[in-house]
């Protein structure tokens, strides 16, 4: 289990993560296919927020597994030979320390899928166990521009990152969503140019790839952040690193899901 850090290519400040037993406090449908779940609980009291694309790993145990109480990081480790959780990663969209609350936004891509189905059925009072948060990306103080790319699973990270970017930083944002109803208001003090792409019936990531690979990059040193389906991310990395000659360390491109596969292999 990893520690948390701030990542900007310049420095990494590690803080140890923690297993947190929380309860669902509220559930809201912010767009037709995105559920915002608010988590609360005593264990959120000491949560240190790293901002940006920081994420947690949600723990899903098989029904019927009896968890020892109190359920701590050590207790989860001791339980591993008997019961291994399936992990799913989600971004912290908001952290309100004064209210002891954390919001995460879940794409509802299938009621029969583990995390998506859980989110679709979640009601206040449900227990949710997660480990984290992890580190948060920033473009770094020497960045002269930034590019943020992603599909709807990346939207929470893009929205949270935009809220933290320095005033006036030139930033191009390209987000692919199923349709107009999945757009969300994005706020930033940066000098942002935001493009929404509606995939309709096209394969996920096709439009994002087309638009991202046609983006003119400004002069000077910039940084690129992106998250989407694994194959799309592979192509974007090839384009920016091999095609455009960007330093690999100036790109932060992460597969957030894999077509036709569960995320279990990531654990």
Ligand X SMILES: Cc1cc2nc3c(=O)[nH]c(=O)nc-3n(C[C@H](O)[C@H](O)[C@H](O)COP(=O)(O)OP(=O)(O)OC[C@H]3O[C@@H](n4cnc5c(N)ncnc54)[C@H](O)[C@@H]3O)c2cc1C
How far, in Å, CA of 195 to CA of 207, rounded? Answer: 11
Considering the rule CB under 6 A, would residue 263 count as an interface residue with ligand X? yes
CA distance 40 to 126: 11
105 binds ligand X (CB under 6 A): yes
Q: Give min distance, CB of 220 to ligand X, in A.
A: 28
Q: What share of the chain is helix, strand, coil (3-state, %, to 5)?
A: 25, 35, 40
**Residue 238, token pair as written in the block:** 């090839």
**Is the bond into 70 cis (omega within 30 degrees of 0)?**
yes
Per CB under 6 A, 50 contacts ligand X = no
Shortest CB 167 distance to ligand X, Å? 26
Out of 6, 19, 37, 115, which residue is the one contacting ligand X (CB under 6 A)?
Answer: 115
| Stretch in the footprint of ligand X (CB under 6 A) among 8-16, 176-184, 214-222, 258-266 | 258-266
Residue 147: closest CA among 171, 165, 177: 171
| Distance in angstroms (rounded) separating the CA atoms of residues 258 and 74 | 30
Minimal distance, residue 113 CB to ligand X, in Å = 4
Verify binding: residue 30, ligand X, rule CB under 6 A: no
Q: Does 262 bind ligand X (CB under 6 A)?
A: yes
Q: What is the distance between the alpha carbons of residues 34 and 91, in angstroms, rounded to a whole number? A: 13
Residue with tokens 């910039």: 222
208 is an interface residue for ligand X by CB under 6 A: no
Select the span of 7-15, 69-77, 87-95, 140-148 touching ligand X (CB under 6 A): 87-95
Distance CA 26, CA 149 (A): 29
Closest to ligand X by CB, 113 vs 184, is 113
Q: Could you identify the residue written with the tokens 């757009």?
A: 183
- H/E run at residue 31: strand 18-31
Applying CB under 6 A, which part among 3-11, 112-120, 142-150, 235-243 lies near ligand X? 112-120
User: Hey, which residues between 142 and 171 contact ligand X (CB under 6 A)?
Assistant: 153, 156
- Residue from 77, 96, 238, 259 touching ligand X (CB under 6 A): that is 259
User: Given the structure tokens 């992460």, which residue do they identify?
Assistant: 254
First to last CA, the chain: 10
Alpha-carbon distance of 12 to 176, in angstroms, equals 30
Q: Return the residue of 89, 95, 223, 237 that touches ligand X, per CB under 6 A.
A: 89
121 part of the interface to ligand X, by CB under 6 A: no
Q: Which of 94, 109, 198, 211 binds ligand X (CB under 6 A)?
A: 109
- Span of 66-74, 169-177, 240-248, 257-265 interacting with ligand X by CB under 6 A: 257-265
Which residues in this chain contact ligand X in the complex, by CB under 6 A? 55, 88-91, 104-107, 109-110, 113-116, 153, 156, 256-263
């Amino acid at each position: 289990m990893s520690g948390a850090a701030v990542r900007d290519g310049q420095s990494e400040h590690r803080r140890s993560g923690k297993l947190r037993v929380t309860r669902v406090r509220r559930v809201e449908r912010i767009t037709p296919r995105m559920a915002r779940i608010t988590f609360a609980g005593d264990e959120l009291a000491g949560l240190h927020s790293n901002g940006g694309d920081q994420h947690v790993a949600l723990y899903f145990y098989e029904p019927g597994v009896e968890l020892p109480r109190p359920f701590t990081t050590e207790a989860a480790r001791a339980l591993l030979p008997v019961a291994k959780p399936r992990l799913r990663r989600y971004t912290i969209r908001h952290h309100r320390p004064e209210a002891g609350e954390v919001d995460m936004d879940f794409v509802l891509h299938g009621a029969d899928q583990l995390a998506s189905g859980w989110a679709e059925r979640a009601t206040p009072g449900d227990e949710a166990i997660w480990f984290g948060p992890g580190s948060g990306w920033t473009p770094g103080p020497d960045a002269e521009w930034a590019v943020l790319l992603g599909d709807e699973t990346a939207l929470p990270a893009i929205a949270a990152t935009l809220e933290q970017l320095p005033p006036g930083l030139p930033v191009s944002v390209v987000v692919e969503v199923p349709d107009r109803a999945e757009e969300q208001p994005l706020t930033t003090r940066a000098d942002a140019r935001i493009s929404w792409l509606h995939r309709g019936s096209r394969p996920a990531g096709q439009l994002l790839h087309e638009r991202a690979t046609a983006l003119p990059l400004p002069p000077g040193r910039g940084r690129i952040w992106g998250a989407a389906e694994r194959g799309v991310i592979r192509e974007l990395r090839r384009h920016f690193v091999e095609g455009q000659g960007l330093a690999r360390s100036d790109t932060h491109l992460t597969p957030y899901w894999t077509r036709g596969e569960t995320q279990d292999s990531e654990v």
